[in-house]
Structure 1
C-alpha cells in the first residue's frame, strides 16, 4: 500500500512538473545534462542549453526536476554564458549547482533521473511537425550506489551547438563522450523527447526524404554518418550515451546511468 501511495504521489508530482515547468517562451536548439561526483552523495549537476540568439534573453535560473527515492524541483543558477561562435546563431548557457542525493538505507543503489523541460524548440526543424510549438525535454540517469563507488557522467568531447553539412555530400561527425570513471560507453540514436516518457510526435529520422540514404551512429565510437543529405535546413537528433561498469568479482556489467544530448544537424547548399 505504501509503495502504491508513493508511486501515485510521484506520478502526480511529475504531471505537475510537466504542466508548469517552464513559463518562458524560449527557443532551444539543443542541450545536455551532466553530473560530477564530489563526495559521499554530493554531486555537481550541470545543464547546458543552446539558445537561439533571436529568441528571448537567457533566463537567470533554470528549473530542473529530480526524481528517485524523492521527487523535487530545484533551481540551477546561470554560471556562464558563451556567445555564439563566428557564423553561428546559437549561444551556450551553463547552469549548475551542488545537489545531495538521499542516503540509501538498504543494500544496493537507486536510479535517479535529472530532467529539464522547456516550452519551445527552435523553429523550422524539418524532421518534426511544428517544432517551434513542440516542447524540448532532456533527461539523464544516475545510479547512486556506494558499493560500486564513484560515478560521474560521461561528458561530450565537444560541446558543439550543431553539426554542419552540405547537400549531396557525406556528413560525418564525432559525437563521442569521455567518461572520467573509465566506464564503457554505448551510443544510441533515440527519438527526441518532448516530455517524460513521451517522444516528439511526428518525428522522422533525417534521411526520410531519400530512399537510398543511410543515417547511422557507431555504437562503440559515437561517429555519426549520413551518406547523402538531399535538402538544406535543420534536423533534430538525440543521442543517448549509456555507461556500463563491470561488477567486481563477476563477469557481469551494470548500467551506471546515461546522458542524452539533443543536437541539430544544419545542412546548407
Structure 2
C-alpha cells in the first residue's frame, strides 16, 4: 500500500526534497504502475447471466496515472484443456478510496484506490459443462517498486485468478457464486505490534469456505508488455527474497498467518517495509472443492508511537469476576447488572466498551449498557478508571445452558486499536409466568375440531366468556370474524377487560341475510390475551362456527297419492302443505303444476296451501313442485271420483 519514496520524503528536510525526487525519478522507470493488489469475483445473476468483476487496488500516492486503465481484458479458460472460451473486456465502473479502520490514524504516504471493472457475461450450459471446471485470469504489470519481500518488485507482474465449476451437473443447473471476501482496508501495521484483519468472506450459496496463504501469481506480463491479453495457465509466481516464502511471507513473531476456518489474518511484524502477500479462499459443497478466488494485497509496516493496551475488569454481585472460573447467575429478583471498570496506562487515550454474544443470538437475552460506554483517560502515569453498567433484560433466558458474553474495551491507538477482552459466563433464568384460563358458555370444546353452534332464525342467542389469571397480569378478551366484520352480520361483542380478570358477552340474532350469504356458517375467533411485564405472554383462543339452523325437514317426502272427491268429506282434495319442507329464507315455495298422463297441463298454482279436487275426471296425474332455491319435488296422484 505504501511506497518507500513517499516515506522518505516525509522524513527528510525540505531542502533535500528536490534532489531526492530527482534520484528517485531517475531510478524509477515510468512503466511502474504501483498496483497494490486485487481479486476477481463471479456472481450468479439470472438464467445464464453472471456478473464478472475485477477489483483492483491502486496506489493513489505514487501510482502512474497513465497506468490507470479504463478497461481491462479477462480470459475464461477450460481447466482440462487450457483452451480459451471467452475474452471479456471489463470497463471501469467505479473509482473510490479504501477506508482506514480508524481514519484518525491516516498517514499521508498511504492512500489506496479501489477500482471496479464490471461486466455481465453469459455462461451457457452447452459450453460450460466440463466436470473439471473453468478459470478466469487477468494479467497486469507492474507492482510497487518499494516491495521488500520479493525479488525485482518493479518488474514483477500480477495475475488475478479465480476458478468456478460447470454451470450444469448431472443434467441439472448447478449455480455457484464466488465467495465475497471481506473488503480491504487502508490500514498499516506497526513494528513489533500484533496486526489483525478479518479476510473472512460470505458465500451466497452457503458453501463451506477454507482459507490459506499462497504465493502471489506473476504470469506472463512484463514491464515492456504490461497489459497483454490473458494467456492460459500455468502462471509463474513471484520470487521471494532470501529467508521468506509462502508460509513466511511477512517476517514476524508470529509471521503472517491466516485462520483456515475464519479467514482472520494475523502477524506481529519484525521488519519495517512494504510486503506483498497472497490469500486463497476455496469453496466446498458437500465436501468437494468447487472453486476458489485469490486476493493479492500489500501491508506496510511502520515504526509507530508506543501504545499500551487498555484493561477492563468485571464485577458481578459486588465481587470481582474471575474469567474461566466463575459463572454469573441471573435469577428472578436478583441483580441483573454487571459493573465494568476500564482504564489505560497511556494518557489521553479514548476508550470504548462493547459487549458481544459468543454462543447465543436471542436479543431478549443480550444485555445492554445503561451508562456511557466511552471516555478519555487523561492522567499520565496515574490512569483514570472509567465505569459502566451492563444489565441483562428481565426476560433473559439461557435455557439451562451456559452462555458466554465478550466484554471488550478498545483504545484509539494507531494503526489498529489495542484491546482487552473478558469473557463472561452466565446462566440466566427468567421469572415464572402464569397461564390464564378461558371459560365460556359455548358447548364443550373437542380437541382437534371446531365447535359448531346452531342458532334458530330470528331467535336471540347469547354467550358469556370469562378470563382469569392467578397473577395480576392485564387480560383482554377479543372477538374477530374470519373474513367478515361482526357488526355486518348483526353480531355484538362487549368486553370488560382488567387485571387478573376479564369478562365478555356475545350476542346474535341471526337473519335470513346471514343465512343466505353464509350457508356453511360464520367462523368467529375468540381470544384471551395476557400482557404486562411478563416474559412469555399467553394467548388462549377458541373458535366457534355459527350456523343459522334450518327448520327440521320431514324425514321423508310422503305426499298423498290417492284422492276421492265424492263428497264424503274424506280425501276430497290433493294438497302438499304439510308434506313439503318448510319455507326457509331463500328457499320458498314457488308453485305447483299438475299434468295429465299425456303431459297436458291440467292445474297450476303459486300458493303453497293449494287444493286440487281432480276436476271431476278420474285417472292418474303427475305433479311438479318447485322452490325458489331450485329444489324440485315430483310425484303422482290418482283421482278416484
TM range (shorter): 0.7 to 0.9
Alignment-derived partner of residue 132 in structure 1? 154
After superposition, give the CA deviation of every residue in 1:73-102 in whole Å (9 maximum; x if it has no partner).
221001110035463321011000011124
Equivalent positions of 1:176-191 (< 5 A) are 176-191=200-215
SS in 1 for 2:175: coil
SS in 1 for 2:154: helix
Q: Distance in 2 between matches of 1:175 and 1:64?
A: 24
SS in 2 for 1:235: strand
Q: Distance in 2 between matches of 1:120 and 1:188?
A: 24
Q: Distance in 1 between matches of 2:56 and 2:129?
A: 36
From the superposition, tell whether residues 76 and 25 of structure 1 become closer, same or farther in structure 2 (CA, over 3 Å). Answer: farther
SS in 2 for 1:132: helix
How far residue 131 of structure 1 moved from its aligned partner, in angstroms, is 0.8
Alignment-derived partner of residue 63 in structure 2? 55
Alignment-derived partner of residue 144 in structure 1? 166
SS in 2 for 1:121: coil
After superposition, give the CA deviation of every residue in 1:91-133 in whole Å (9 maximum; x if it has no partner).
0110000111243379764511111111101121111012121
SS in 2 for 1:199: coil
* 8 A Cα contact 2:215 2:238, kept in partner: yes
Alignment-derived partner of residue 91 in structure 2? 77
From the superposition, tell whether residues 89 and 65 of structure 1 become closer, same or farther in structure 2 (CA, over 3 Å). Answer: same
Alignment-derived partner of residue 16 in structure 1? none
Equivalent positions of 1:63-212 (< 5 A) are 63-68=73-78, 70-85=84-99, 87=106, 88-104=110-126, 109-147=131-169, 149-160=174-185, 162-195=186-219, 196-202=234-240, 204=244, 205-208=248-251
**Alignment TM-score, normalising by the size of structure 1:** 0.80
Number of residues of Structure 1 aligned to a counterpart in Structure 2: 236
Structure 2 unaligned regions, length at least 5: 1-30, 220-233, 304-641
* 8 A Cα contact 1:110 1:145, kept in partner: no
Structure 1 unaligned regions, length at least 5: 1-23, 247-252
From the superposition, tell whether residues 74 and 108 of structure 1 become closer, same or farther in structure 2 (CA, over 3 Å). Answer: closer
Q: Distance in 1 between matches of 2:210 and 2:120?
A: 27
Alignment-derived partner of residue 8 in structure 1? none
* 8 A Cα contact 2:125 2:168, kept in partner: no
1:31 has 2:38 as partner = yes
SS in 1 for 2:133: strand
**Alignment TM-score, normalising by the size of structure 2:** 0.35
From the superposition, tell whether residues 130 and 150 of structure 1 become closer, same or farther in structure 2 (CA, over 3 Å). Answer: same
Q: Distance in 1 between matches of 2:124 and 2:71?
A: 23
